[in-house]
Structure 1
Amino acid sequence: MKLPQSVRALSPLSPPAPLPSLCSCLPSYNVLQSHGFPSPVDYDGFYDSASTPVSSQKPRKPLIAISKQNRDLHPIPRENPDLLDWMLKRCVNSKDLVGGTIVHAACIKTGCTNVFFCNSLISMYAKCGGLQSAHRMFDGIPERNVVSWNTVISAYVEAGQAAESIELFNRMQQDDGLVPDQFTFGNILRGCTSFRNLDIGMQTHGMAIKSGVESNVFIASTLVDMYFKCQSIEDSWRVFCQTPIKNAVTWTSMITGFIQHGHKECALALFREMLDAGVEPVKFTFSTLVKVFDEPVMLKQARQAHGCMVKLGIEIDVLLWSDMITMYRKCESMEDVVKLSSRLRNKDLISWTALLVAYSQNGYRKDSLDIFREMIEDSTSIDRFALAAAIGACTGSEATELGRQLHAYAMRTGQMSDVSVGNAMITLYSKSGQICKAENLFFQMPCQDIISWTSLLTCYAQNGHGEEALLLFRDMLRKGLKPAMFCISSAVKACSSIASYSLGKQLHLSAVKSGFITEISVGNALVTMYAKCGSIYDAWRAFSYMPYKDIISWNAIIAGFSQHGFANEVLDLFHEMQQVGLPPDDFTFLSILVACSHSGLLAEGLSCFELMRDTYELEAKMEHYASMVDMFGRAGKLGHAMKFIKTMPYEPDLSVWEALLSSCKFHKNVELGKFAAEKMIYLKPEDPSAYVLLSSIHAELGMWDHKARLLRMMKDRGVKKEPSRSWVEDKGKIHVFSVEDKSHPQTHELYMKLEELKMKMIEAGYTPDINCVLHDIEQEQREYSVFHHSEKLAVAFALINIPEGSPIRIMKNLRVCRDCHTAMKLISHIENRQIILRDANRFHHFVDGACSCHDYW
């Protein structure tokens, strides 16, 4: 079934018409007709099928409600039957089955056993939970009328026993020969609605047509509701169009159907038609309508709907108030939320929770927690939704302490076993980096849903535990759980962190099969994953196939090309992004500055930095200043770099001085390097970067005494250099290597392959760059060490195990040295293989003896 498209006249991008003057907005039915819903005159008839007969039920024994101990009750005068009716209503209101039984006994004792009281007793038993007693009472009535049948049918419908209600409906016509009225059909249709039984509903509709009650406004409203809840919105529209007289309930039912089926513009069009027809909306109409306004671009229309309520004098009770708070929250208008919150004095749990969520999800987390405290002080009973919202409001440095308190509160109130509260706590611990607590909480939960698995998976992925995330994803699939959209995107991010190209491709295929490939978050994750796994071509394809792109999409592809050193492509993408009308943010400019820095485009980088501050009025962060210092330093303009640092609006941090020190190492400027290193050591004495970079400068210049003093200083302060590691993926398994590593099962083959490569490289003019070895040892030992760096062992493994023609992807935790960079260029030419190496700074693409960085990294 093809459903109607959005109504263009009511598109969020078009100026909304004022709701109070709705008749001027749309002609009668024209908009709905233009979007697939025919006019009423297109229908000459509807279903005329009769209901299928059901086997009759055996009559049951009448209920004996009076016992020996009840015979001495105070007699109720026979001439006062209104008192009996009043007592029955009291029993119904208080759900007092025992009291109702006593009244039943009094009815028998006083002789009030006419059909009216019998019907009231059936209703009392049904509403007080005595369905079987109600049926026995019904079977014991000597003369039943239509009301008797309607009462017992309604009782079975309310109890959720649709089959029994249908059977009674058939017996009503067969046994007593009674003609069903509008209430009979209404009860049966309500049962079909509850159980989503479209077939029986259509048969009942046909019988209603034959009985001549289909035009009744009550039946019409029930049919409209039944059809749209049974996923037949077009049949619902047909009934609506054929109904000659429509009241507010009929209109509201159809509007609700449109909204629940995602046709928000059609719902707005019908609401305007409703006012144009002179039908005044009721409170429930607006409770349904406010769900349409769920995004910021619809704020103006939301305010118009609010104004329409005021003009029509609609009383805004607690439930409607909560719906409006939710409406303004989704429209991101905290101004209207604050105004509304000041007008409701007596808040219940639902209104408190709506207010709490509104503040939390719009960034006012402190105010949200204050509301939670007010709820406790107001002695409001905190349910799982309010508690989960309060937990979600905890973030930042205060998350640990507040999370601990809320965790304790949840345990004290017995709500920790609720899955929504557990999921919120896992997310909270994930945000604060407490992975073990999140993990323990997950496995202690009595039951987990798909959100629980996704929360822990996201926790692993966001905190750099990619392998654990993928293992959890595998376990989830083995349990037969169908991954949600965010679950797949988190798993793709985990592949990014461990640079697992093959697993990332499998997840890409999974996203295609599950239908999530068009989701923007999945697309963004795939672009980032392919870029970080060294396949910028696949990243570009994933970006190109995305049906919708937001700022994150553009930033992901720009950052990908930047990391791979394609500065010209980065600038082209930046200009294209401007042409489509999407304003860049600070992350966009950071990727551009990094690309310009790595490619030596100093003029372009300076121009972009000025564009960011002057044209887009974005405040430069420390990362931008560090990129500019790196850009000046790589270009050899160390004096300009120092001047730039002195003009910074705030004190430079570790990243700025590290950028300057790296440039000093590249240009062998010892004095300025010492100054930058001293600044780094002062800011973070436990960070080994300053010691290592300065040691490297001294080693390359042969200043071994100075290097030895630095090494002693590192030892005395307990500072340890991170060991160099490289890893390569083969057949879904990650193989990790360190310098002079001999722990791999193929060690002998690897060292033989390296010797073979060494001979070929020497023939091609290769000379080991022993300056890369920072230890004062013999030249032969230095040559042996430099030729067994981790990335060379990784490339030897790849040449042995990865088939010819496939690119070799190697990841390294530190910056690649000059000797390894030279070796990779020669190996790519000798072996005719493409080698993609990612170091701590960027990607290097080695093809036929050349590198994409042009030896500038």
Structure 2
Amino acid sequence: MILSQPKNCSSNTNLEYAARISFTTLLCGNVLKNLTAWIASRDNHHLALPTSSLSPDRKDDREETLFIQSGCGQPSRYKLISGIRLCSHTLDLADGRRLHQEACKKGFILDKYVNNTLVYMYGKCGAFSEAEEVFCSIPRRTTVSWNVMLSAYLAYFQWGKVLLGYRQMQEHGPNPDAYTLFLALQACGMLQSKEGTNLIEMQPFKTACFEIIHAFHAAVLEKGLANNPLISNTLVRLYGKCGALADAVMVFSGIIKHCVVSWTAMLASYKDNGQAEMALHCYRQMQVEGSIPDKVSYTIAFQACGIIAEGEDATFAKERLIKLKALSIGLALHADACGMDIAEDTRVGTSIVTMYGKCGAVTEAEEAFSALSCQDVVAWNAMLSVYIEQNDGLRVLHLYSKMREQHVPVDYVTLICALQGCCEQGSIHACEELHFETVCIGQGELSSLSAKLIHTYGIHGCMVSAQSNFDGLVNPDLVSWSVLVSGYANSGDDVMTLEHFASLQMARILPDDGIFASILLACSHSGLVLEGIQCFQSMIEDYKAAPKLMHYGVMCDLFGRAGEFRRAQDILARMPMKADLGIWWFLMGACQTHVNVELAEEAFEHAVNLQPNQATAYILMSYVYAAAGLFDHIKMVEDMRHCQGLLWSELD
């Protein structure tokens, strides 16, 4: 571990103490403010560095670089350094340790060039305790020494130590250079990936990340490094990841000459912030300005196209429902990728498969999948997801079987996709086989897979198996509770639904929208009007949850089944959103049971206005008239149906 005071570096006690330093503590409270003030308060002597990475006051670093590159110095020392570097490339820790002992015997243990190379070797091999021990033994650590140590931390995702080391360099020297800042910014990128782990308290996570990145950006400007491509490109990407798109654009605009990495960073920033069309404009503009998109650029462009597809309504064309606008863009991008001879690349090709799936173009997705040079598990998962998008459980299970036949290693995403296929297909036998495979490959304890298994068993009405899986969980999370309660509700076991809701509350789990919908559904099926009203009020008043359309729909069904039409109409009047077809159908079904022709006609009018070509409303209205003995009115509804060109068999 890096220490604050170089003179204490050799102490194992201090090493252990430093290892216990919590980076969380360093970033909590006023540290972000201190970091900004700390950079701003440094005088020019400490802050200003020439644009060149080799400044006049860094003679040691220049000598070290020239020594390693040219091989000057004592032959035995040079051979020793070369041997240690070879161990770094081959990750041969045993030989590296042997050469370390050789360096000690030959008196090179205090040589900074040898020590820096040893730190590099130990870091590459993941032997951090030894790397830190050698690093701390260097009498006069240069910026190169620090950069080697920080690079080792970064390679193994120890971002906290990188940021801590950068801060110690600022406080105790030597001055960080451009590469040090680049390493620190890379560590910030790793910090961003830790969202949701409570690393930074008292602040929204992205705000905290933004402040840290902004502080480093200030240091970049102070040091005159804004035109360094490594740093500027990284800043664009980091600002994009924390939602500061305007700052990303500002940094990008300040880059004198945009390279493909710059464009790709900006493209990704637009995509990550939901600006898919701007991302594709960026893709086109980079070509106009002479930059050739690489594999990463194409991957992001296809992802942006997929985002456009998600926001587009499907159109029936060529006997299939497709997203025409997104598909036309995707086809053009695919042609570009083929022209660059990268469409068959696994990563690019997988993004093509996913894009076509979101557009509803299954045939094109299958062709892109078949064309892949290497079909890894991510590619197979993408193809499985395409079939899931189409609710085609049969193809999902068939493709999964093909994966197993070809001995493709599966991961938890594969298993979740296959279980979803079981839900769509209604195959309990396939579900049981998947459950067995999940346990065999050691994935059975994953909460996401357990929840999916509970859900799948619940869909098939196998609540004994669902309950058994739930009981096997040490600490059931909200998702597991939700799918279990939903399973009992959908299987009509209202007693167990309400019982598990009570258990959930005793476990101090906050119910989500799905759980409330399941409880209301159980009350509706059991005719528990008062309990349903109490649950609905508790949802609003006790849990401060805003009811969604599905909750209002179940309440209408609850009142309709009980014949409480005045309350049903009151709920409809209080809804902050428009009722959908399902609600009007529920109401018409209740009107048939209780023979309420007037309200049924009102519901029928709303349903037909929403979907005039949907046969269900006409059929339900005919049932209401039949229940009321108004057979002449049935002929009127049939005439209306004929005007729309609908068949009775179109009920779905």
> Is the shorter-chain TM-score for this pair beyond 0.5, marking a shared fold?
yes
1:597–1:627 contact (8 Å) kept in structure 2: yes
The residue matched to 1:636 in structure 2 has which SS?
coil
The residue matched to 1:416 in structure 2 has which SS?
coil
Structure 2 counterpart of 1:385:
296
2:498 to 553, 558, 568: 568
User: CA offsets per residue over residues 122-157 of structure 1, 9 Å max, x none?
Assistant: xxxxxxxxxxxxxxxxxxxxxxxx999959xxxxxx
1:11 to 21, 24, 30: 24
Structure 1 counterpart of 2:378:
451
The residue matched to 1:293 in structure 2 has which SS?
helix
User: Which amino acid counterpart does residue 293 of structure 2 have in structure 1?
Assistant: I
**Aligned counterparts of 1:710 and 1:360: Cα–Cα separation in 2:** 50
1:327 and 2:235 are equivalent in the alignment: no
The residue matched to 2:22 in structure 1 has which SS?
helix
1:426–1:442 contact (8 Å) kept in structure 2: yes
2:553 to 626, 640, 644: 626
1:602 to 529, 534, 550: 529
- Counterparts of 1:310-325 in structure 2, within 5 Å, are 310-311=218-219, 313-314=222-223, 315-316=225-226, 317-325=228-236
2:461–2:487 contact (8 Å) kept in structure 1: no
Structure 1 counterpart of 2:149:
254
User: Which amino acid counterpart does residue 460 of structure 1 have in structure 2?
Assistant: Y
2:353–2:365 contact (8 Å) kept in structure 1: yes
User: CA offsets per residue over residues 421-472 of structure 1, 9 Å max, x none?
Assistant: 2211211122222222212221233432222111001111232111211111
- Counterparts of 1:578-597 in structure 2, within 5 Å, are 579-580=508-509, 586-587=513-514, 589-597=516-524
1:530 to 447, 450, 457: 457
Structure 2 counterpart of 1:182:
77
1:307 and 2:307 are equivalent in the alignment: no
User: Which amino acid counterpart does residue 253 of structure 1 have in structure 2?
Assistant: V
Structure 2 counterpart of 1:350:
261
Distance 1:684 1:263, change over 3 A: same
2:420–2:456 contact (8 Å) kept in structure 1: yes
2:94 to 189, 192, 199: 199
Distance 1:604 1:462, change over 3 A: farther
Structure 2 counterpart of 1:662:
589
Structure 1 counterpart of 2:191:
293
- Shift of residue 483, structure 1, vs aligned partner: 1.4
Distance 1:273 1:601, change over 3 A: farther
**Aligned counterparts of 2:393 and 2:267: Cα–Cα separation in 1:** 34
**Aligned counterparts of 1:16 and 1:339: Cα–Cα separation in 2:** 29
**Aligned counterparts of 2:593 and 2:530: Cα–Cα separation in 1:** 21
- Shift of residue 669, structure 1, vs aligned partner: 2.8
2:354–2:382 contact (8 Å) kept in structure 1: yes
Structure 1 counterpart of 2:118:
223
Give the structure with the higher percent helix: 2
- Counterparts of 1:140-219 in structure 2, within 5 Å, are 180-219=75-114
1:622–1:656 contact (8 Å) kept in structure 2: no
Give the unaligned 5+ runs of structure 1: 26-145, 152-177, 725-813, 815-857
1:373 to 268, 278, 284: 284
2:396 to 457, 466, 469: 469
TM-score between the two structures when normalised by the length of structure 2:
0.76
- Shift of residue 561, structure 1, vs aligned partner: 4.0
User: Which amino acid counterpart does residue 653 of structure 1 have in structure 2?
Assistant: D
- Counterparts of 1:68-83 in structure 2, within 5 Å, are none
The residue matched to 1:441 in structure 2 has which SS?
helix
1:673–1:694 contact (8 Å) kept in structure 2: yes
The residue matched to 1:393 in structure 2 has which SS?
helix
Distance 1:356 1:547, change over 3 A: farther
- Shift of residue 6, structure 1, vs aligned partner: 9.1
**Aligned counterparts of 2:251 and 2:515: Cα–Cα separation in 1:** 38
1:425–1:438 contact (8 Å) kept in structure 2: yes
- Shift of residue 570, structure 1, vs aligned partner: 5.8
Structure 1 counterpart of 2:352:
425
2:273 to 330, 348, 362: 362
User: Which amino acid counterpart does residue 364 of structure 1 have in structure 2?
Assistant: Q
User: Which amino acid counterpart does residue 445 of structure 1 have in structure 2?
Assistant: L
Distance 1:287 1:528, change over 3 A: farther
**Aligned counterparts of 1:546 and 1:326: Cα–Cα separation in 2:** 39
**Aligned counterparts of 2:25 and 2:452: Cα–Cα separation in 1:** 28
**Aligned counterparts of 2:34 and 2:573: Cα–Cα separation in 1:** 62
Deviates more, 1:466-475 or 1:273-282: 273-282
**Which of the two has higher C-alpha Rg?**
1
- Shift of residue 415, structure 1, vs aligned partner: 3.3
The residue matched to 2:394 in structure 1 has which SS?
helix
**Aligned counterparts of 1:548 and 1:253: Cα–Cα separation in 2:** 43
1:518–1:547 contact (8 Å) kept in structure 2: no
- Shift of residue 715, structure 1, vs aligned partner: 6.5
**Aligned counterparts of 1:17 and 1:301: Cα–Cα separation in 2:** 14
What's the Cα RMSD here? 3.9
Distance 1:13 1:149, change over 3 A: closer
**Aligned counterparts of 2:534 and 2:166: Cα–Cα separation in 1:** 53
- Shift of residue 196, structure 1, vs aligned partner: 2.0
- Counterparts of 1:739-778 in structure 2, within 5 Å, are none
2:344–2:371 contact (8 Å) kept in structure 1: no
1:561–1:569 contact (8 Å) kept in structure 2: no
2:387 to 435, 445, 460: 460
1:348–1:380 contact (8 Å) kept in structure 2: yes
1:427–1:455 contact (8 Å) kept in structure 2: yes
The residue matched to 1:11 in structure 2 has which SS?
helix
Distance 1:209 1:486, change over 3 A: same
- Shift of residue 197, structure 1, vs aligned partner: 2.3
**Aligned counterparts of 1:500 and 1:602: Cα–Cα separation in 2:** 35
**Aligned counterparts of 2:500 and 2:475: Cα–Cα separation in 1:** 20
User: CA offsets per residue over residues 771-824 of structure 1, 9 Å max, x none?
Assistant: xxxxxxxxxxxxxxxxxxxxxxxxxxxxxxxxxxxxxxxxxxx8xxxxxxxxxx
Deviates more, 1:647-656 or 1:482-491: 647-656
**Aligned counterparts of 1:195 and 1:249: Cα–Cα separation in 2:** 22
**Aligned counterparts of 1:283 and 1:149: Cα–Cα separation in 2:** 23
1:692–1:721 contact (8 Å) kept in structure 2: yes
- Shift of residue 223, structure 1, vs aligned partner: 1.9
Distance 1:286 1:473, change over 3 A: farther
1:661–1:676 contact (8 Å) kept in structure 2: yes
1:232 to 105, 115, 127: 127
- Shift of residue 354, structure 1, vs aligned partner: 1.5
**Aligned counterparts of 1:544 and 1:325: Cα–Cα separation in 2:** 48
- Shift of residue 392, structure 1, vs aligned partner: 0.6
**Aligned counterparts of 1:484 and 1:719: Cα–Cα separation in 2:** 46
Give the unaligned 5+ runs of structure 2: 1-15, 39-66, 313-324
The residue matched to 1:492 in structure 2 has which SS?
helix
1:461–1:491 contact (8 Å) kept in structure 2: no
**Aligned counterparts of 2:33 and 2:115: Cα–Cα separation in 1:** 27
